[in-house]
A and B are shown apart, each in its own frame.
Chain A
Amino acid sequence: MARTGQVTESTGSPPQRRPTGARAAAAARAVLPAPFGRRARLELLFCLAGIPLGLCLPLVPYVISGPALAVALLSPEHDSTWVAAAAAIPAGLVLVLLATRIARRLGAVHRRLAARLLGERVDPPPPRPGRGAVGWAGAGLRDGPGWRAAAYQVLKLPLAVLEAYAAFLWVAGLADLTYPFWWGLFRNHPPGVTLDPVTAASPFPGRGFPVATFAGTFAALAVGVAMVLAAPWVTRAVVSVDRRLLRALLGPGRLAQRVRDLEQTRALAVDDAAARLRQVERDLHDGAQIRLATMAMHLGMAMEKLEDEGGQAEVRQARELVDEAHRAAKDALAELRDLVRGIHPPVLDNGLADALATLAAGSGIPVELTCDLPRRPTPAIETIAYFCAAELLANAAKHSAATRVTIRCAERDGTLVLTVGDDGTGGADPAAGSGLAGLAQRARTVDGRLKIASPPGGPTTVTAVLPLRA
């Protein structure tokens, strides 16, 4: 790559212009099809939906209370002012009490719209607290997420104006495009007759420009093209602000989100622990336990042979049986040792570096290990990191045809960063059940995360970032 760049430089100016041209072409490729994309259509729909929902609905209370206030303020007689105020104050109070409830309902509609049209999935906020000592009214007033939803409605008001403007750009721009096509049909007046010029839309609503001649329609066409090309980008910009507001105000809120995450990860941790215990039971049941039972059976049979005080044949058979029992005992011991290591490798007590070194030494693929941890993480973190490395190493050996694995373990910004890379075939996919999903879950239980980079063809790098203490 670098060499190609040098060649281009040495051949003078014409090739140098090509990158600029290429850049322009790339930009054109990005800009030109934008108005025709599915995303642009959906975002436009979202803007259009915002006009009744964000702009008109919130105005209802003003429309209702407006005349009452107008009557009250404009009335020459003081008596009717008092009457109007007396009517307006309770109405306003009811509105305040209903605000959080209405805002929550509207918020749900906005969330659904955003999910359907923008693919922006925002979790619903926690449900309204139950009625406390202050009852129905208090439950509404103390409803934090409800007030955040109300704030969204307020901020949505100017935003909906901008969204309406984006929709205007689309509609007016498209309309401008049509001018040259119908001009000939409707403006074929006899010579000498003067018609008023028609108005073409400009990007400034209400400030159209006059078109009096056929040539003028091309000015309208040009403005239309510019507006249609700009429309998707304006739409996107406005919608992205709306997305932020949606996430911030209609979501569960930071604390509630944290609680939800913790609930999820706690469930994962509990399930994980239960699954591991079950696996240990299964391994013992199908492994060491059955081997020991077989061993007991062989020894029992051997004892019978020897009790009978039989001849040479019985003694020989007894020896065979003892041999088999002996083998079963050794197998059972090996299996128990593996199982014990799978539960908690004893070497982990000496620290992660030693444990990883043991792991690397036992690997079929050459492993390059660097481990630099000035502070020791807590045992739970060490265990998770160790099993991550073990699983990833096993994956590399099983699936990747790698010839070399690197394991790096370091402390960075108060976290433990474990990186396992291999030069294999790549294509590791957490969804394919390679155990990566399980590792990611286990990392999540301690607020850690797993980053997987494994393009088809390789190489694979998996990074686990874990807090130092859990």
Chain B
Amino acid sequence: MSPPTGAGGGPLRVVIAEDAALFREGLVRLLTERGHRVVAAVADGQALLDAVAADRPDVAVVDIRMPPTHSDEGLRAALELRRDHPGTGVLVFSQYIETRYAARLLEPNAAGVGYLLKDRVADVREFVDALARVAAGGTALDPEVVGQLLGASRNADDLAALTPREREVLALMAEGRSNAGIANALVVSVGVVEKHVASVFGKLRLPPDEGDNRRVLAVLRFLGS
């Protein structure tokens, strides 16, 4: 069994809200095998709110579409959690990506929030890393969201000035990864990543790098504006 990689390396206390029983059970098994504790696994938004209020978990994994209306009750529950329980990270986990949902989740800040496609669970390590990042107050945005933002950005001229490598670094920053995470993903040293980051910030005329969360916001604001 791999060592737990939670906030501060310890095991995470997780609440799961997912109405598809098979998938929910799979998630419970995956996280339990990784040494985390699933304190509640529920199937609708209200049960999620109740479970979080009762158990105060480190992070909640929330499906967007759940009973009773099967529309966006998961998202609404997630927004409520963000407002009422800032100490609990919220990872919204869905079969589709809506940029607008991402924008609403990231208001007013990107601390302790994630929005991933369910497909990402196939890469177990990356998924668990993202969950730990959200639990620790970081951000995890799906590459799909970032890709859509990059494609639709009105600052195409500024983006065109970036080298392909710098674009990759920008995208990984937008996903919420730390310099170490980016270095890991690109298989380069942290020093190289730092150089790229500085160069990206210079070319996009963004304020200097001030920690992961504010960096994510700065990058997203740039892409969204």
A124 to B30, CA, bound (A): 66
A304 to B30, CA, bound (A): 11
Q: Are B95 and A301 in contact (CB under 8 A)?
A: no
Q: Which residues of A contact B187 (CB under 8 A)?
A: none
A105 to B2, CA, bound (A): 85
Q: Which residues of B contact A328 (CB under 8 A)?
A: 22
- Which among A289, A291, A293, A303 is the interface contact of B121 at CB below 8 angstroms? A293
The yes or no answer to A413 lying at the interface (CB within 8 A) is no
B87-125: CB near A (< 8 Å → 1, else 0) gives 000000001100000000000000000000011011111
A249-293: CB near B (< 8 Å → 1, else 0) gives 000000000000000000000000000000000100110011101
Nearest-neighbor residue (CB-CB) of B33 within chain A: A301
In the complex, how many angstroms separate the beta carbon of B143 from the nearest chain A beta carbon?
16
In the complex, how many angstroms separate the beta carbon of A310 from the nearest chain B beta carbon?
9
The yes or no answer to B215 lying at the interface (CB within 8 A) is no
Q: Which residues of B contact A308 (CB under 8 A)?
A: 2
Q: Which residues of A contact B127 (CB under 8 A)?
A: 300
- Which among A297, A303, A304 is the interface contact of B26 at CB below 8 angstroms? A297
Query: What range describes how many residues of A lie at the interface?
Result: 10 to 19
The yes or no answer to B20 lying at the interface (CB within 8 A) is yes
The yes or no answer to B42 lying at the interface (CB within 8 A) is no
- Which among B2, B26, B95, B121 is the interface contact of A285 at CB below 8 angstroms? B95
The yes or no answer to B221 lying at the interface (CB within 8 A) is no
In the complex, how many angstroms separate the beta carbon of B23 from the nearest chain A beta carbon?
5
Q: Are B122 and A294 in contact (CB under 8 A)?
A: no
A293 to B124, CA, bound (A): 12
Q: Which residues of A contact B29 (CB under 8 A)?
A: 301
A308 to B124, CA, bound (A): 13
Q: A282-B70, A304-B125 are in contact. Are A290 and B20 (CB under 8 A)?
A: yes
Q: Are A297 and B95 in contact (CB under 8 A)?
A: no
Q: Are B26 and A294 in contact (CB under 8 A)?
A: yes
A291 to B127, CA, bound (A): 18
Q: Are A297 and B33 in contact (CB under 8 A)?
A: no
A470 to B132, CA, bound (A): 58
A304 to B22, CA, bound (A): 20
- Which among A286, A290, A297 is the interface contact of B30 at CB below 8 angstroms? A297
Q: Are B26 and A298 in contact (CB under 8 A)?
A: yes
A289 to B124, CA, bound (A): 18
A300 to B34, CA, bound (A): 13
Q: Which residues of A contact B20 (CB under 8 A)?
A: 286, 290, 294
Can you list 9 residue pairs at the A/B interface with Cβ under 8 Å? A290-B23, A293-B95, A293-B121, A296-B119, A297-B23, A297-B30, A300-B121, A301-B30, A328-B22
> Which of B's residues lie within 8 Å of A, judged by CB?
2, 20, 22-23, 26-27, 29-30, 33, 65, 70, 95-96, 118-119, 121-125, 127
